[in-house]
Chain A
Amino acid sequence: MTRQTPIKWMGGICLLVVLLVIGSASVQTTAYAQNSPEVLGTDAQTEFWRAIRQGEQGTVSIPDKNAAQLIQSEGDNWRALRNGPLSVYGAQALIGMVLVLAIFFLFRGRIRIDHGWSGWTVQRFNEVERFGHWLLAGSFIILGLTGLNMLYGRYFLKTLIGDSAFATITAWGKIAHNYLAFAFMIALVLVFIMWVRHNFPSRTDINWLIKGGGIIGPSHPPAKKFNLGQKIIFWLVLLCGISISLTGIALLFPFQTTMFADTFALLNVFGFNLPTAVTPIQEMQYAQLWHSIVSVALIVVVIAHIYIGSIGMEGAFAAMGSGRVDLNWAKEHHSLWVEELDAAGTLNAERDSVDRLSKEEAVKDEAVKGEPAE
């Protein structure tokens, strides 16, 4: 008795399964006869092939399900933009900026301290500020050079030093680029915390803008710790830097972010009509393009910044070098800042450690400088 019951039971299930199989098979046969010709390949199947050409996903038995897409044409667009406009306009902008600065230098020359060196200095940037600046600047220069090498190296450096040496340098450059990115991001945060309070727009900026920053005319428009030009580069470095950092993170962790899909969805709220169905590989293509575009733009801006902070202006480099600037320089370029310090009693002018003047001149210039705090 105990044996017969499960056999009957199983027999019933088997019958049910057989019936189900027959049923489903007959349904499939009917569907097949209706939709497919009996001989394969006699049909043009234009829709079928068009769908594949446009990136239709099939199925694969391998673990990488992204491999189910037979053809992704977006790569062609990426290639065309990267090897076309990005490379061409990028090179033109970089060379153009260097040329503009060279021409400016030839005609305007070095911007001198109008009243000459005073022989007295004031503290402009302390150790922490200079550390933040040089962490940002140092990482940016290496990131910029290794990044430009990825874009232009094969047309330039490779022809000079050969395949093998170039590949070795580029491989190390890639590693440096990947890890120094974090120094850049930390420095970006530091710089923001240190200087954001000095970089809000103010009324003096309008006057500064009207006078063209004093670069063209003979007069120096008044400015606080940072003039409008410095405020512009602060916000450009910050906004571009954040954008570059975010896309850089997307490139460091490939196929794991949905940054562009999210950004496009957000932009669409404001009336744009951008695609929100972005595949992982398209995310990478967008990230690489945007990373390069913004980086090249920022490099162009920073070349001008480096120029004006070094050979372009007498006395400017000391601000980030020793941290102490000549008092006459400070009065000419940041008159309101000097007044602020003076009013607060924190001017603390000291004799310049570099003996730029003869003793008589230094004494004479004390009148120009006014009463030193100490």
Chain B
Amino acid sequence: MARMKFLCDAERCIECNACVTACKNEHEVPWGVNRRRVVTINDGKPGERSLSVACMHCSDAPCMAVCPVDCFFYTEQGVVLHNKDLCIGCGYCFYACPFGAPQYPQVGNFGSRGKMDKCTFCAGGAADAGSDEEFKKYGRNRLAEGKLPLCAEMCSTKALLAGDGDQVSNIYRERVVARGFGSGAWGWSKAYPGGGS
């Protein structure tokens, strides 16, 4: 069985935020919840790079490890999902997550965050695949329909890749070879800045 993974190619992402919009539209997530976001480093400066980030569906997921009610689970494809019927909205998964993936529908004083919401890799959640209940709680289950996550599917520059981890890394490896990564060797960026011209 495939192990699903995300990869964002920083050399291709143009910060169009279409992945963010597509995600919001596909899953009809509430205001203030961002299952996916685009972060720009060195915005407006030379060497600017953008990266689209959401739940990375970690192996040994920190959210799963710290959840007091143990509401997280892995699918057979390595996707990290959670059960909103069990979630108590304590916020621990957000404290643990390296990528800031868990989101809450409310502001959150007195622990009133509401049930956590996060990227599902378009794989639904703890409800029957394709049911209304699943859509309302977790969004569309595209994987059950044989489709991949919409954010990556409609990425115009194909910066964002989603799918079987082996295939994703093969595509990325081809790109790196085509770009000519020779100058990526140790010390080159320091010794020959700007491509060594």
| Interface residues of A, Cβ cutoff 8 Å to B | 31-48, 51-52, 56, 58-64, 66-73, 75-76, 78-79, 82-83, 149-151, 153-154, 158, 163-164, 166-167, 170-171, 174-175, 178-179, 252-254, 281, 284-285, 288
Secondary structure dominating the interface of A: helix
Which chain B residues in 59-100 approach chain A with CB under 8 Å?
62, 65-71, 83, 85-92, 94-100
Contacts of A71 in B (CB 8 A): 98-99
Contact sample, A vs B, 18 pairs, CB 8 Å cutoff: A35-B46, A39-B195, A42-B181, A44-B184, A44-B185, A63-B32, A71-B99, A75-B96, A76-B96, A78-B95, A82-B66, A153-B68, A163-B69, A163-B70, A167-B69, A167-B71, A281-B94, A284-B95
The yes or no answer to B41 lying at the interface (CB within 8 A) is yes
* Residues of chain B lying within 8 A (CB to CB) of residue A76: 62, 96, 98
Task: Please state if A40 and B111 are interface contacts (CB–CB under 8 Å).
Answer: no
User: Is B95 within 8 A of A75, CB to CB?
Assistant: yes
Q: Is B158 an interface residue (CB 8 A)?
A: no
Partner of A34, one of B95, B96, B108, B194: B194
Known pairs A44-B188, A45-B189; A58 contacts B195 (CB<8 A): no
What B residues does A69 contact at CB under 8 A?
A: 39, 100
Selected from B39, B40, B108, the residue in CB contact (under 8 A) with A254 is B108
Q: Which residue of B lies closest to A149 (CB)?
A: B68
Instruction: Select from chain A the residue with minimum beta-carbon distance to B15.
Output: A61
> Would you list which residues of chain B between 154 and 185 have a CB under 8 Å from chain A?
175-176, 179-185
Contact B181 A174 (CB under 8 A): no
Taking CB as reference atom, which chain A residue is nearest B93?
Answer: A75
Considering the complex, give the chain A residue whose CB is closest to the CB of B86: A167
16 new A-B contacts, CB < 8 A, other than A58-B43, A69-B100, A284-B95, are A34-B46, A36-B194, A37-B183, A40-B11, A44-B183, A48-B41, A67-B39, A67-B100, A73-B98, A76-B62, A163-B86, A167-B88, A170-B88, A252-B109, A281-B94, A284-B91
Q: Which residues of chain B are near A56, meaning CB under 8 Å?
A: 41
Bound state CA distance, A47 and B43, in angstroms?
16
Q: A44 near B51 (CB under 8 angstroms)?
A: no
The number of inter-chain residue pairs (CB within 8 angstroms) is 166
Q: Is there an interface contact between B176 and A41, defined as CB atoms closer than 8 Å? A: yes
B: number of interface residues (CB 8 Å): 62
Chain A residues with Cβ under 8 A from B185's Cβ? 44
Closest beta carbon of chain B to A13's beta carbon, Å: 25
A96 to chain B, nearest CB (A): 23
A164–B85 CB distance below 8 A: yes
Does B142 make an interface contact (CB < 8 A)? no
- Within residues 16 to 59 of chain B, which ones have a CB less than 8 A from any CB in chain A? 17, 20, 32, 34, 37-43, 46-47, 49, 51, 53
Smallest CB separation, A335 vs chain B (Å): 48
| Candidate in A32, A41, A72, A253 with the most chain B CB atoms within 10 angstroms | A41
> Hey, which chain A residues are within 8 Å of B46, CB to CB?
31-32, 34-36
- The contact of B97 among A75, A82, A175, by CB within 8 Å, is A75
Residues of B with C-beta under 8 A to A75: 62, 95-98
Which residue of chain B has the shortest Cβ distance to A163 in the bound complex? B86
Quick check: A72 and B85 within 8 Å, CB to CB? no
**Within 8 Å CB of A58, what residues of B?**
39-43, 51
